Structure 1
Amino acid sequence: MEVGVCVEAYRQEAETHRRHINSAFMTFVVLDADDQPRTLPWIQPQPGSSERRGLPGDHGCPLFSPRKYIVSCKQAEMPLSVPWDPSNQVCLSYNNVSSLKMLVAKDNWVLSSEVNQVRLYTLEEDKFLSFHMEMSVHVDTTQAFLLLSDLLRRPEWDKHYRSVELVQQVDEDDAIYHVISPVLSGDTKPQDFVILASRRKPCDNGDPYVIAMRSVTLPTHPETPAYRRGETLCSGFCFWREGDQLTKVSYYNQATPGFLNYVTTNVAGLSSEFYTTFKACEQFLLDNRSDLAPSLQTL
């Protein structure tokens, strides 16, 4: 049984002005005498909103339904993008970050190749091919985190980002971007993406800085004939402090169908294209380690 919890604060004399504090999801499992999961008895909800929240699937609680849609969707059954809903932005941002953290935490990554201390790992499970690249860079961890969380600067080092437009600044740490990529080999027109980017500082010692990205849909940015709409299910960066002015930078990507052929071609032997892009990222960090964008210094 999954339980969603939302914590809000408000002044007693002005209850209508609520402020979101935190959201979390907890999973409870009832065990039998043999320590095996057992079925919960049928819950009789109270009339009204409790009945609505108790319904399964897309008719249930608005916190649960997008979570199930985001984390559990299958590529062949439904679009990977989820509709952006301002009333549910906390849940969507939470799932964006938690999906990346779950991908990072998997223990069956396989080292595929290593070139000049740039390592490439792959992971095949549940019909998904994921890849993970990492390197150590002589840049302060917070600096690296802030620089790469500014997607408007990504075309400076990543040739797969031809242009980036900030569509909506959701809050200090979440934003929606419209990204246009150049034409990939075999395509007839460029791709575009509508991406929710969520950045988070470490919660505890040893936790990484996180920049998580996933595709969303917006009525203001529908598909157009000029571009082939691409989607990213789960991708982003994690940063670990390894010492004074030394940071481990890791990039993760759960390959989607439209990107799969490109990924499988480049994963073999850590191709020069993957390697060149990641080294360009390193050079960007080194060149700008003392030149942070003022808009990002509020963190």
Structure 2
Amino acid sequence: MEVGVCVEAYRQEVETQRRHINSAFMTFVVLGADDQPQKLPWIRPQPGEGERRYREASARKKIRLDRKYIVSCEQTEVPLSVPWDPSNQVRPSTPRPPGPCSLSVGRRLVRLYTLEEDRFLSFHMEMVVHVDAAQAFLLLSDLRRRPEWDKHYRSAELVQRVDEDDAIYHVISPALSADARPQDFVILASRRKPCDSGDPYVIALRSVTLPTHRETPGYQRGENLCSGFCLWREGEQLTKVSYYNQATPGFLNYVTTNVAGLSSELSTTFKACAQFLLDNRSDLAPSLQTL
């Protein structure tokens, strides 16, 4: 929550003649006994002045994030994609944020957390669905089905099957703005089943470069630094789905708009993912080996 402070000065003999000295805005995170961010009640700002201050607070949050991450040139000094090599699939990883994260949005179904670390902004979305974890794992690991619930995926074509658990896809995404070209990505998707009781199913996504799929004039080549899913079995036919994304410069404006509460597209997309899993929980999802 944001707290505004206003400093004024006045003479003791004339209190009505005040003059403004300074203003400041501080952001507080309320932690519980476990040092984790606590969910605050939803705020309904008062009409008029209250609504204006509420909108200004949201705008300040976005401006702060934009200045810190979008304006930084360090992220664009080197390519984020790595040349594809069989060694790339050995150790998939998703950006699992360490320590306390900021809870930006908490609705009945979906929670959105953010982590500001070094020069990267990561976000983490979480929900619980009434679907078996193994079935959710199979459905989400086949990127060809992602356009069914994620409007940021126009299409996903399997271009190379590496082995039973690793595959490379060519993904087409709509343009992020009216005057931009559509984006395309070459994504290595690696999935791993739990190694031990209590471990999650992991689906890790990472941009790679392939000689057969170079940049073309019709598309703007996008890059996925690090993203993916972790799926925990919470009980019989109950799964906690967590999605992680380490935002890249081209995606940051979209992320900060959602984190600041100026858009709910991320939450809407994740709810569509939940509905997709529910609608297909009885499907016999194919393995990568049989594609």
After TM superposition, is the score higher than 0.5? yes
Per the TM alignment, residue 75 of structure 1 is displaced from its structure 2 partner at its CA by 2.2
Write out aligned runs for 1:25-174 (5 A). 75-85=75-85, 89=86, 91-95=87-91, 97-98=92-93, 100=94, 103-104=95-96, 106-174=98-166
Kept in 2, the 8 Å contact 1:113–1:270? The answer is no
* Equivalent-residue separation in structure 2 for 1:251 and 1:153 (angstroms): 16
Letter in 1 for 2:78: M
Task: String of CA shifts for 1:102-141, please: whole Å, max 9, x gaps.
Answer: x215113221120123100000111100000000000000
* Equivalent-residue separation in structure 2 for 1:208 and 1:173 (angstroms): 15
Q: Using CA pairs below 8 Å that are at least 6 residues apart, which structure has the higher relative contact order?
A: 2
Letter in 2 for 1:93: Q
Q: Which of 234, 251, 257 is 1:265 aligned to? A: 257
Letter in 2 for 1:233: L
Q: Which of 233, 236, 256 is 2:225 aligned to? A: 233
1:180 aligns with 2:144: no
Kept in 2, the 8 Å contact 1:144–1:285? The answer is yes
Task: String of CA shifts for 1:228-255, please: whole Å, max 9, x gaps.
Answer: 0000110000000111100000100000
* Equivalent-residue separation in structure 1 for 2:125 and 2:262 (angstroms): 10
| Partner residue, 2:286 | 294
Distance 1:281 1:196, change over 3 A: same
* Equivalent-residue separation in structure 1 for 2:287 and 2:232 (angstroms): 23
Letter in 2 for 1:126: D
Distance 1:216 1:198, change over 3 A: same
Letter in 1 for 2:118: D
Kept in 2, the 8 Å contact 1:157–1:281? The answer is yes
**Alignment: residue pair count:** 217
Kept in 1, the 8 Å contact 2:76–2:249? The answer is no
Write out aligned runs for 1:187-206 (5 A). 187-206=179-198
Secondary structure in 1 matching 2:96: helix
Letter in 2 for 1:92: N
1:251 aligns with 2:270: no
Per the TM alignment, residue 183 of structure 1 is displaced from its structure 2 partner at its CA by 1.2
| Partner residue, 2:277 | 285
Question: How many percent of aligned residue pairs carry the same amino acid?
Answer: 79
* Equivalent-residue separation in structure 2 for 1:294 and 1:257 (angstroms): 34
Task: Tell me the TM-score normalised to structure 2 length.
Answer: 0.71
Kept in 2, the 8 Å contact 1:133–1:252? The answer is yes
Distance 1:83 1:296, change over 3 A: closer
Per the TM alignment, residue 292 of structure 1 is displaced from its structure 2 partner at its CA by 2.4
* Equivalent-residue separation in structure 1 for 2:285 and 2:197 (angstroms): 26
* Equivalent-residue separation in structure 1 for 2:200 and 2:223 (angstroms): 25
Distance 1:126 1:266, change over 3 A: same
Secondary structure in 2 matching 1:112: strand
Larger radius of gyration: 2
